[in-house]
């Protein structure tokens, strides 16, 4: 989606941090912005700031953990602007810094409710309406460098698990969605936001710099939107270890596609049965 002029972009958690920076970046391209999160005061401040930049913007209160409120966000956007062209599922929370064995289950559920189920609610609810709308559209879910590796080892298993889940869901969802809806995942690294507030946060990537990086890749139609260059050095060892494990214990052989699930499902869908 190269031309964003007059496109309608909905961003959850769009009042602060990465979401607000994306609102500014997309708005600067001529898009109309709708933001939603639970804190009305922050929403009002964000819309006022966007309007000062000459960006047409509106807000509605939305808690992404509640499907009814996500439906209401969609109602608001379509009623206000008559269409939605882009959804960015950005709302997210951090988890308590605690070992998995010490984390209360209620805290685990809270972080999954926002970071994973909030994404699920947004993607599925908006996708149905976008399919009915029938025009080119896009849904992007915000993951993390923690979708690939554990960036903060030892104390954030819940957060890491949610971001791995976002990547897995988005990849499956992308294959289920019509081609005219562009689906992808945004992978922030260490970016200035409410989640990175504090002394260490001053060392994080500037939020507007990150948003400009996202925008460029979005307009190019990429479904993996990346940023922090050094992350590849953290990602590569996992795949190297996997390759080594396969080479040692499950090496390739002639006819090894016999157990490949995609091949098997394709054969079954054609009505043919495996020979074995």
Tell me the catalytic residues.
Answer: 159
Neighbour count for residue 139 (Cβ, 10 Å):
25
Q: Which residues pair with 47 in a beta bridge?
A: none
Rounded CA gap, 78 and 135, in Å?
A: 14
DSSP assignments along 94-157, one per residue: ---SB-GGGS-HHHHHHHHIIIIIHHHHHHHHHHHHHHHH-S-EEEEEE--GGGTS-SSTTTBH
The dihedral through the CA atoms of 227, 59, 31, 45 has a sign that is negative
């Amino acid at each position: 989606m190269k031309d964003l002029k007059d496109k309608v972009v909905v961003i959850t958690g769009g009042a602060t941090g990465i979401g607000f920076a994306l609102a500014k970046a997309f708005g600067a391209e001529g898009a109309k912005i709708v933001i939603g999160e639970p804190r009305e005061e922050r929403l009002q401040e964000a819309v006022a700031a966007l309007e000062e930049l000459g960006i047409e913007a509106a807000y509605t209160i939305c808690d992404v953990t509640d499907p009814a409120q996500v439906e209401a966000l969609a109602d608001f956007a379509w009623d206000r602007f008559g269409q939605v062209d882009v959804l960015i599922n950005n709302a997210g929370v951090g988890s308590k810094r605690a070992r998995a064995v010490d984390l209360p289950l209620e805290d685990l559920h809270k972080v999954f409710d926002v970071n994973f189920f909030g994404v699920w609610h947004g993607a599925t609810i908006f996708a149905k309406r976008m399919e009915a709308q029938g025009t080119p559209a896009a849904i992007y879910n915000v993951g993390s460098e923690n979708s690939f590796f554990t960036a903060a080892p030892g104390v954030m298993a819940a957060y890491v698990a949610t971001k791995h889940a976002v990547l897995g869901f988005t990849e499956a969802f992308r294959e289920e969605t019509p081609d005219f809806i562009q689906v992808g995942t945004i992978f922030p690294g260490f970016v200035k936001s409410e989640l990175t507030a504090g002394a260490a946060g001053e060392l994080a990537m500037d939020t507007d710099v990150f948003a400009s990086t996202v925008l460029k890749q979005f307009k190019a139609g990429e479904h993996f939107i990346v940023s922090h260059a050094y992350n590849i050095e953290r990602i590569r060892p996992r795949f190297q270890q996997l390759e080594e494990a396969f080479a040692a214990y499950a090496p390739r052989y002639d006819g090894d596609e016999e157990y490949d699930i995609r091949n098997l499902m394709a054969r079954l869908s054609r009505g043919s049965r495996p020979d074995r």
